Amino acid sequence: LCVALELKKKNMIARHLIDERARVLRAAAARIPGAAFAFAPEPWENATRADVHAVNVLFVAIVVWLLFTWRAAERAGSTHAGAWLVGAAAAFGVGIGAHPLVGLLAVGIAVWLFVVDRRFWRRWRLIVACAVVLAIGLVGPYALLWLRAISDPQPPLFYARPDTWDRFRYLVFAEQFTGLFREFRSPLSDLDIKLADVERVLAAQFVPPGWLVVAIGAAVVAARSLGTFAMLFLFVIANVLYSMNFRDGDIDRYYMPTVVVLSPLLGVGLAMIAAACARAMAEVARRLAPTRDARRRVAALAATLVLALGAGAPAASLVTGYEAHDESDNRDADAWVASVHALLPPNAVVVSWWSYSTALWHHRWVLGERPDLTIIDERDILDDGYRTMNNAIRAHFGRRPVYVVLPDWERRAVMARWELSTVNTLRGFTRLLLVEGPRS
């Protein structure tokens, strides 16, 4: 749903950037970026799973669209133009509440305010209104989280249990991820390796001719409005610098805001090329075609061919990527859980981590299967006072059968303390291990 909404926003953003006069050309060229984004590998993959990054990029698209709409309203002399900026501030605040990655737009937004109005700092009423709705949008989701945490009934899945200030702060400021920020101490170190990773991720999103057209679109935008180019450039630089230094295990999805920002430039480039080809063919037809209508038809045909070729990029992505992204028959998680349930004795404890706990939780709490099981996630280890996976095992060993699914970062510590034996579940997954006893 989020990706579908983003597709519409890409069309609307592209309409603000495409400056060609022909309405049909503008409308047709503006539709291509949305399809190109939707069928790019990373957005497509995120559209098939429950992932907050799909919501994150939706807010990015909404904010960018509202900023461009604000400029258009200011140019048109609308007396209510500021309402669009207030809306952008609200979306920006709520977006940060959903995922802090949206906050990387801040520098580009600050520049954009003065691109649209050099005396923006004098518009104190608009500034105050934006600040208020930004604060409400930012604080609102966290306030709701706090109220839900301290109110009954307690949710069956209570991530981080933010019912005390320490736990609330831990969740809001993502303190469990502090170890992933080590690279920010020297963000430009190993730059060749980091840039190679950036190239790997972004190059996969569009076919090479698509990126060439994006570059042409960027040049066109820079020539027409350097301020617009500067804002988009700052959006991209902030996102790339952050993503190439953040040590997340699935870092590719963090680059999606860059794809959001750059995909409308595909429409800009295509519109410019189509218009140039149409003018060239009209000039040639002037010597050959006897009437003005004939020359117009020749020019329209040339523009149509260019746009058709441009539409071939997302069409090719759809054809070549469909099988890889088709999850309609993917029952791997269900099959793994079924194999685990078949082997676990009554009243067993499974100490796991989020990739596997999620599937176990779904079958336990949503489908109501195996209510006798206790599933202790890596997050629960902290919330329930165990502190370490070893302590969680020790708390239940001897009283209940204990099984573990070990993440790489816990493997050495756990295997040094406990005798473990492999339980034969489905192949291709992290091993389910039975805790036999402490090592002597």
One-letter amino acid of 35:
A
C-beta contacts of 248-251 below 8 A and 24+ residues apart? 248/180, 251/197, 251/201
Q: Which two tokens stand for residue 380?
A: 């629960």
Determine the pLDDT at residue 149. 80
Last residue of a domain, one of 309, 325, 341: 325
Determine the pLDDT at residue 26. 87
- Whether 258 contacts 211, CB under 8 Å: no
Map the chain to HEC letters.
CHHHHHHHHHHHHHHHHCCCCCHHHHHHHHHHHHHHHHCCHHHHHHHCCCCHHHHHHHHHHHHHHHHHHHHHHHHCCCCCCHHHHHHHHHHHHHHHHHCHHHHHHHHHHHHHHHHHCCCHHHCHHHHHHHHHHHHHHHHHHHHHHHHHHHCCCCCCCCCCCCCCHHHHHHHHCCHHHHHHHHHHHCCCCCHHHHHHHHHHHHHCCCCHHHHHHHHHHHHHHHHHCHHHHHHHHHHHHHHHHHHHHCCCCCHHHHHHHHHHHHHHHHHHHHHHHHHHHHHHHHHHHHHHCCCHHHHHHHHHHHHHHHHHHHHHHHHHHHHHHHHHHCCCCCCHHHHHHHHHHHHCCCCCEEECCHHHHHHHHHHHHHCCCCCCCEEECHHHHHHCCCCCHHHHHHHHCCCCCEEEECCHHHHHHHHHHEEEEEECCCCCCCCEEEEEEECC
302 and 246 housed in the same domain: yes
Give CA–CA dist 350/348, Å, rounded.
7
What number of residues does the chain have? 440
Determine the pLDDT at residue 4. 60
Per-residue pLDDT of the chain (440 residues; tens, 9 = 90+): 655 666 667 678 888 888 888 888 888 888 888 888 888 888 888 887 777 888 888 999 999 999 999 999 999 999 999 999 999 999 999 999 888 889 999 999 999 999 999 999 999 999 999 999 999 999 988 888 888 888 877 666 566 677 788 878 877 887 767 777 878 888 888 889 999 999 999 998 988 889 999 999 999 999 999 999 999 999 999 999 999 998 877 888 999 999 999 999 999 999 999 999 988 888 887 777 677 787 788 888 999 899 999 888 888 888 877 777 777 778 888 999 999 999 999 999 999 987 888 899 999 989 999 999 999 887 777 777 777 889 999 999 999 999 999 887 788 888 999 999 988 888 888 888 999 999 87
232 and 261 housed in the same domain: yes
Q: Is the dihedral of CA 251, 355, 158, 177 positive or negative?
A: negative
Give CA–CA dist 338/90, Å, rounded.
44
Determine the pLDDT at residue 436. 92
- Whether 349 contacts 323, CB under 8 Å: no
Last residue of a domain, one of 282, 303, 325: 325
380 and 256 housed in the same domain: no
C-beta contacts of 194-197 below 8 A and 24+ residues apart? 194/244, 194/245, 195/244, 197/244, 197/251
What order do you get walking across the sheet with 402-405 strand by strand?
A: 374-376, 349-351, 402-405, 432-438, 418-423
Determine the pLDDT at residue 197. 93
Give CA–CA dist 271/310, Å, rounded.
10
46 and 67 housed in the same domain: yes
Give CA–CA dist 105/258, Å, rounded.
11
Contacts of 385 (CB under 8 A, 6+ apart): none
- List phi, psi (to 5°) of 270: -65, -40
Domains contained in the chain, number: 2
- Whether 277 contacts 306, CB under 8 Å: yes
244 and 274 housed in the same domain: yes
25 and 166 housed in the same domain: yes
Last residue of a domain, one of 280, 302, 325: 325
End-to-end CA distance of the chain: 54
Contacts of 70 (CB under 8 A, 6+ apart): 81, 82, 84, 85, 88, 116
- List phi, psi (to 5°) of 312: -65, -25
181 and 160 housed in the same domain: yes
Residues spanned by the domain of 401: 332-438
320 and 347 housed in the same domain: no
297 and 177 housed in the same domain: yes
312 and 383 housed in the same domain: no
305 and 344 housed in the same domain: no
426 and 285 housed in the same domain: no
